[in-house]
Amino acid sequence: MKGRPGASPTAPAIRMTKRPGHADIQRARWQLWAVTFAILGSLAVALVFLAGGQSAIRHNPLPQGTLRVALLGLIAAFVLYAIDRERHLRRLAERLTHEQVESTQLATRLRYLAELQRERDTSAALFDGAADGIVVVDAELRLLRFNGAMQALCGQTGSKVLGGLAPVVLHFESTDGTPLEGAEYPLAAVLADGMPRSMELLLFVPGGERRWVSGTFSPIRDPETGEAVLALGIVRDISQQKEIEQLQRDFVSIVSHELRAPLTAIKGFAKTLVVKDEELSPATRREFLSTVNEQAERLARLVDDLLQVSRIDAKRVRVEWSEVDVADVLRDLMGQFHSKWGARRVVVDVDRGLPVVRADRQKFEEILINLIDNAIKYSPESTPVRVSARVTGDELEIAVADRGFGIAPDDAAELFQKFQRITTPATRDIGGTGLGLYIVKGLVEAHGGRVWVESVPGAGSTFAFTMPRARAEALPEEMHA
Ligand SMILES: Nc1ncnc2c1ncn2[C@@H]1O[C@H](COP(=O)(O)OP(=O)(O)OP(=O)(O)O)[C@@H](O)[C@H]1O
Ligand SMILES: [Mg+2]
């Protein structure tokens, strides 16, 4: 006979025994009652015969002995059947009780199994959902468990590496770059001496990248022998924390250098002015005083930049919106041009009829000053800097282009980060804190705009940003016409 589709051919045959139900017991009870009534009826007939029916018996054509034997035989048959039915009833009742006990035990077992399953699911979810990478290895360093976070950390898929050797899958290096192999391998060391350990490490990721991680490695012991039979590793990505630490170190070294340089100059020139006042010619005195003034401005600018950075970091840049005429701002800036940028040629290429932008005028100026400053700083003196503006949809695009040293494509994405400076042989001696472009980006974004760079190394760079155009309904009455 053909099996049910999908039924397993190897499934064991199940012996189906019919369980006694309440209907069976009821039926057996009725049978017992019927037999009892039959016995009682037979006894009554017998008594009638024996007590008052002597004459009837006498007139009966059957002999008296035969009648008695037949009657006794009938009663005996009824009694035997009644005993059998009673036993059958008891057996049924016993089986029913037994089955009830069994089914209660089965229900308890099923509940227990369901609870176990739930607990297993919970631990699997905890294991897989943990933010830290978790690995378990056996005494031979074979990977038994490898959770999702660990896969993300080392760029390897769990199903592919399970059963493989941990040192082949997870390459650890000490913080000075020494590979941790053999007895030095943290999981091997834990299995060897049974001592848990925590350390900062570098984890090698396929593709050559190294990631800062903190690892906690501990033994899992056999409950009977106490021997370390497995080892557990919990690995956390700390690259971001390391970046912040590096940033803080950069901050201290750059800011202290940038503070010290103008302070030293101010101190030196001021002291010379005080001590040798009489000996100095008026021209030298004026030159010294102007240097002191310049360096004090440099200091003030640094302090202003640091304050602006802290506002950008805290996302607390306050934009005082107004309608700003780009041509007007540039005219003002070019007015300060000579004192600020000396003899450099800055070409302004802005249409007169350009629409106004909605911006904070002072912050808009700060953005432009930073970009023009950079364009002048990072290009040869003989080359011009060009500032242009054009309308693109609802925005105005303002660009500052130079014909300077340019930026390599790999470096371009990082320039807008805090303290990011690129030192090439051409720019090595140019001072700066690496805060200018971070401030530019923070201020442009506070206006809802974007900033980007296009550059060809050796040929020049163009830094461009967008500012929202003032909406027609926001314009003063006379500008609607
Ligand atoms: N126009 C440019 N051409 C070439 N490189 C540039 C240009 N503008 C910026 N850079 C590069 O980007 C880096 C970051 O510029 P950013 O303005 O943030 O800092 P900085 O000029 O070094 O210091 P400061 O905080 O004084 O502005 C610079 O160190 C420089 O290497
Ligand atoms: Mg700068």
Confidence of residue 78 (pLDDT cuts 50, 70, 90): confident
How far is it, in rounded angstroms, from Cα 464 to Cα 173? Answer: 43
pLDDT mean over 362-366: 95
433: pLDDT strictly greater than 90: no
370: pLDDT strictly greater than 90: yes
Tell me how crowded residue 391 is: count the other CB atoms within 10 A of its CB.
13
Q: Which residues pair with 463 in a beta bridge?
A: 400, 453
Confidence at residue 318, expressed as pLDDT on a 0 to 100 scale? 93
Return phi, psi of residue 333, to 5°.
-65, -40
261, 293, 313 - which closes a domain:
313
Under 8 Å between Cβ of 420 and 437: yes
Q: 């699997």: which residue's tokens?
A: 124
In a domain, 451, yes or no: yes
Tokens of 310: 């802290």
> What residues have CB less than 8 Å from 132, skipping those under 6 apart?
149, 234, 235, 236
CATH of the domain at 254: 1.10.287.130
Strand pairing of 460-468 and 451-456? antiparallel
From residue 338, how far is each of 100, 153, 327 by CA, in Å? Answer: 103, 54, 18
Return phi, psi of residue 133, to 5°.
-75, 135
Give one DSSP letter per residue of 148-173, joined into a string.
HHHHHHHT--HHHHTTSBHHHH-EEE
Least confident of 46-55, 242-251, 408-417, 460-469: 46-55
Kindly state if the Cβ of 383 falls inside 6 Å of ligand 1: no
81, 97, 126 - which closes a domain:
126
In a domain, 2, yes or no: no
Q: What's the 266 CA to ligand 2 centre distance in angstroms?
A: 22
Residues 336 and 365 occupy one common structural domain: yes
Residues 329 and 445 occupy one common structural domain: yes
Confidence at residue 53, expressed as pLDDT on a 0 to 100 scale? 54
In a domain, 295, yes or no: yes
In a domain, 328, yes or no: yes
Name the residue at shortest CA distance from atom 28 of ligand 1.
421
Kindly state if the Cβ of 434 falls inside 6 Å of ligand 1: yes
Kindly state if the Cβ of 400 falls inside 6 Å of ligand 1: no
Confidence at residue 479, expressed as pLDDT on a 0 to 100 scale? 36
Confidence at residue 345, expressed as pLDDT on a 0 to 100 scale? 85
CA neighbor of 383 nearest in space, from 436, 463, 459, 327: 459
Give one DSSP letter per residue of 240-295, joined into a string.
HHHHHHHHHHHHHHHHHHHHHHHHHHHHHHHHHHHHTTTTS-HHHHHHHHHHHHHH
Q: What's the 358 CA to ligand 2 centre distance in angstroms?
A: 25
CA 440 to chain centre: 30
Confidence at residue 459, expressed as pLDDT on a 0 to 100 scale? 93
Confidence at residue 65, expressed as pLDDT on a 0 to 100 scale? 73
CA 477 to chain centre: 52
Strand ranges across the sheet with 460-468: 346-349, 385-392, 395-402, 460-468, 451-456
Kindly state if the Cβ of 404 falls inside 6 Å of ligand 1: yes
277: pLDDT strictly greater than 70: yes
Average pLDDT, the chain: 85
In a domain, 206, yes or no: yes
Tell me how crowded residue 58 is: count the other CB atoms within 10 A of its CB.
8
378: pLDDT strictly greater than 80: yes
15: pLDDT strictly greater than 50: no
In a domain, 216, yes or no: yes
Q: What's the 10 CA to ligand 2 centre distance in angstroms?
A: 77
Kindly state if the Cβ of 433 falls inside 6 Å of ligand 1: yes
Confidence at residue 31, expressed as pLDDT on a 0 to 100 scale? 76
How many domains are there within the chain?
4
Residues 81 and 67 occupy one common structural domain: yes
Residues 211 and 337 occupy one common structural domain: no
Kindly state if the Cβ of 415 falls inside 6 Å of ligand 1: yes
Confidence of residue 50 (pLDDT cuts 50, 70, 90): low
Helices 64-129/22-51 angle, 10° precision: 170
Tokens of 34: 């019927």
Tell me how crowded residue 217 is: count the other CB atoms within 10 A of its CB.
25
Under 8 Å between Cβ of 401 and 461: yes
pLDDT tens, position by position, 176-234: 888 999 999 999 999 999 999 999 999 988 777 889 999 999 999 999 999 999 999 99
Q: What's the 255 CA to ligand 1 centre distance in angstroms?
A: 16
Under 8 Å between Cβ of 374 and 366: no
Residues 67 and 208 occupy one common structural domain: no
CATH of the domain at 233: 3.30.450.20
419: pLDDT strictly greater than 70: yes
How far is it, in rounded angstroms, from Cα 304 to Cα 327? Answer: 26
CB environment 454-479: b (16+ within 10 A), e (fewer)? ebeeeebbbbbbbbebbeeeeeeeee
Confidence of residue 6 (pLDDT cuts 50, 70, 90): very low
How far is it, in rounded angstroms, from Cα 391 to Cα 304? Answer: 31
HEC per residue, 436-460 = HHHHHHHHHHHCCCCEEEEEECCCE
CA 7 to chain centre: 43
Reduced to 3 states (helix: H, G, I; strand: E, B; else coil), residue 66 is helix
Residues 162 and 52 occupy one common structural domain: no
177, 203, 237 - which closes a domain:
237
Residues 161 and 113 occupy one common structural domain: no
Q: What's the 342 CA to ligand 2 centre distance in angstroms?
A: 17
Residues 149 and 180 occupy one common structural domain: yes
pLDDT mean over 53-62: 56
End-to-end CA distance of the chain: 94
pLDDT tens, position by position, 339-362: 666 778 889 988 778 889 999 999
Under 8 Å between Cβ of 451 and 399: no
CB environment 274-289: b (16+ within 10 A), e (fewer)? eeeeeeeeeeeeeebe
Residues 233 and 247 occupy one common structural domain: no
Kindly state if the Cβ of 462 falls inside 6 Å of ligand 1: no
Residues 424 and 275 occupy one common structural domain: no
Could you list the residue range(s) of the whole structural domain that residue 293 is in? 243-313
Q: What's the 437 CA to ligand 1 centre distance in angstroms?
A: 7
Under 8 Å between Cβ of 367 and 308: no
Confidence of residue 481 (pLDDT cuts 50, 70, 90): very low
pLDDT mean over 42-54: 68
Q: What's the 370 CA to ligand 1 centre distance in angstroms?
A: 9
295: pLDDT strictly greater than 90: yes
Least confident of 137-141, 163-167, 416-420, 467-471: 467-471
Angle (CA) 91-95-99 rounded to 5° is: 175
Confidence of residue 18 (pLDDT cuts 50, 70, 90): low
Residues 392 and 327 occupy one common structural domain: yes
Instruction: Decide which of 84 and 32 is more confident.
Output: 84
480: pLDDT strictly greater than 80: no
Instruction: Decide which of 292 and 159 is more confident.
Output: 292
Task: Tell which one of 378, 410, 419 to mutate to probe ligand 1, the residue whose CB is within 8 A of the most ligand atoms.
Answer: 378
Kindly state if the Cβ of 375 falls inside 6 Å of ligand 1: yes
From residue 41, how far is each of 64, 75, 110 by CA, in Å? Answer: 20, 9, 52
Confidence at residue 477, expressed as pLDDT on a 0 to 100 scale? 40
What percentage of the chain carries pLDDT values higher than 90?
A: 45
CATH of the domain at 410: 3.30.565.10
In a domain, 4, yes or no: no
Confidence of residue 61 (pLDDT cuts 50, 70, 90): low
In a domain, 402, yes or no: yes
Confidence at residue 11, expressed as pLDDT on a 0 to 100 scale? 38
Residues 187 and 158 occupy one common structural domain: yes
Q: 């919970």: which residue's tokens?
A: 122
Task: Tell which one of 369, 371, 415 to mutate to probe ligand 1, the residue whose CB is within 8 A of the most ligand atoms.
Answer: 415
Q: Where are the alpha helices (DSSP H) in 130-219?
A: 148-154, 158-161, 166-169, 186-193
Q: 């009821």: which residue's tokens?
A: 26
